[in-house]
Amino acid sequence: MADAHKLLIIGSGPAGWTAAIYAARAQLSPVVYSGVPKQDPGPVLPGGQLMLTTEVENYPGFPHGVTGPQMMADFQAQAERFGTKVIGEDILRCDFSKRPFTFTTSNDGKNETGQIRAHAVIIATGAVANWIGLPNEMRLARSGGGVSACAVCDGALPAFRSQPLAVVGGGDTAMEEASYLTKFASTVYIIHRRDSLRASKIMQERFLSRPNAKVLWNKVVVDVLGENSIEGVMLEDTVTRERSRLDVRGLFIAIGHTPATRFLKDSGVELDASGYVALKRRDSYTNIPGVFAAGDVADANYRQAVTAAGMGCTAALDAERWLAANDVH
Ligand code: NAP
């Protein structure tokens, strides 16, 4: 097997690329495994959740906004400018039992195609928004047709101003996103599959106290209507099975996220109860020395491009210091 890399970075969202920029400038010759595109059931792309975001308007430094895919292309170009090597493959498995660590790679996302070794690793594989999984939902999410999994990212776009909008879900994220949307929308509907919310009382109150807030109980979305942009949703009552149409110009899916940590199963890296990487302190250290984590894979709470980028920087600095302390030069 070839010599071990100093630093492997798994993942190619804002956390991974920022870690790569810092590590490359610190002459750690980082290798980024940027991942293989797949459907899971929604799209999972190299570049992460931003690849499904049209306009990013809340990342500092872009006064006129930037598209998510353009931003990720620019992050990658900046990382490559300083010598980052990028491999468009997945890491299927990690063996942290001895150093340097060994990683099993795959060029199709399923089958083992090789092995590499590295002295340190930054896990930056993100978390994937859960989707209902309807064909028209995915089509309009991909085309920027008014279906999104992030109201804080997309909700302030002009197309949603003074329009009826809907949020699917009954948890804290749904309440937070719906409350945010009440600032712009004519009406915000929560579509929830049961007759009581999972969200904390305070988050429920925050939403329900808005004059343009409405909850549709015992309802699921069975189709998303509209050719180029959303015109409405078809609902089904979970008790009576009755169907009804609701006219909305935006649909925000807030039914949870799944952290991309399946490949860490049996690796010994400590995960929390929801499957996110558990960090040791307010830095990027996991329970295994030499294994660091950054971005949404270790953050169920903020999930913003700018917070992920900040965590990527932290992880690169932690890894650099750890490598120096362990005589890897
Ligand atoms: P969550 O608590 O797991 O809630 C997901 C919601 O989506 C639930 O209401 C669930 O319905 C619904 N759901 C799941 N699958 C569905 C499907 N296929 N179709 C329709 N509905 C579906 O997820 P979350 O709201 O993203 O919150 C995740 C964690 O972050 C929580 O611990 C939360 O407290 C925390 N958080 C905190 C804040 C804050 O404090 N500021 C903000 C956001 C998130 P059921 O209720 O029927 O299961």
Q: How far is the CA of 197 from the centre of ligand 1 (A)?
A: 9
Q: What is the pLDDT of residue 41?
A: 63
Q: What is the pLDDT of residue 326?
A: 95
Pocket test for ligand 1, best of 131, 177, 191, 255 (most atoms within 8 A of CB): 255
Q: How far is the CA of 254 from the centre of ligand 1 (A)?
A: 7
Task: Give residue limits of the domains in the chain.
Answer: 5-128+257-325, 131-253
Q: Is 296 among the residues known to form the active site?
A: no
Pocket test for ligand 1, best of 49, 167, 173 (most atoms within 8 A of CB): 173
Domains 5-128+257-325 and 131-253 share a fold: yes
Q: What is the pLDDT of residue 277?
A: 97
Q: What is the pLDDT of residue 104?
A: 97
Q: What is the pLDDT of residue 39?
A: 74
Q: Is 150 among the residues known to form the active site?
A: yes
Pocket test for ligand 1, best of 137, 172, 274 (most atoms within 8 A of CB): 172
Q: What is the pLDDT of residue 38?
A: 83
Measuring from atom 43 of ligand 1, which residue has the nearest CA? 173
Q: What is the pLDDT of residue 248?
A: 98
Q: What is the pLDDT of residue 95?
A: 97
Which of 3, 90, 95, 154 is the catalytic position?
154
Measuring from atom 14 of ligand 1, which residue has the nearest CA? 255
37-48 burial string, b = 16+ CB within 10 Å, else e? eeeeebebbbbb
Q: How far is the CA of 23 from the centre of ligand 1 (A)?
A: 35
Q: Is 313 among the residues known to form the active site?
A: no
Q: How far is the CA of 26 from the centre of ligand 1 (A)?
A: 40
* Superfamily name and number for 131-253: FAD/NAD(P)-binding domain (3.50.50.60)
According to CATH, the topology of domain 5-128+257-325 is FAD/NAD(P)-binding domain (3.50.50)
**pLDDT tens digits in sequence order for the chain, 329 residues long:** 679 999 999 999 999 999 999 999 999 999 999 999 987 666 788 999 888 776 788 899 999 999 999 999 999 999 999 999 999 999 999 999 999 999 999 999 999 999 999 999 999 999 998 999 999 999 998 888 999 988 877 888 899 999 999 999 999 989 999 999 999 999 999 999 999 999 999 999 999 999 999 999 999 999 999 999 999 999 999 999 999 999 999 999 999 999 999 999 999 999 999 999 999 877 899 999 999 999 999 998 888 999 999 999 999 999 999 999 998 88
Q: How far is the CA of 171 from the centre of ligand 1 (A)?
A: 3
Identify the residues whose C-beta falls under 6 Å from ligand 1.
132, 168-174, 176, 193-194, 198, 220, 255-256, 300
Structure tokens at 288: 């295994």
Burial of residue 173 (CB within 10 Å: 0-12, 13-18, 19+) is buried
Q: How far is the CA of 319 from the centre of ligand 1 (A)?
A: 33
Which of 153, 296, 299, 318 is the catalytic position?
153
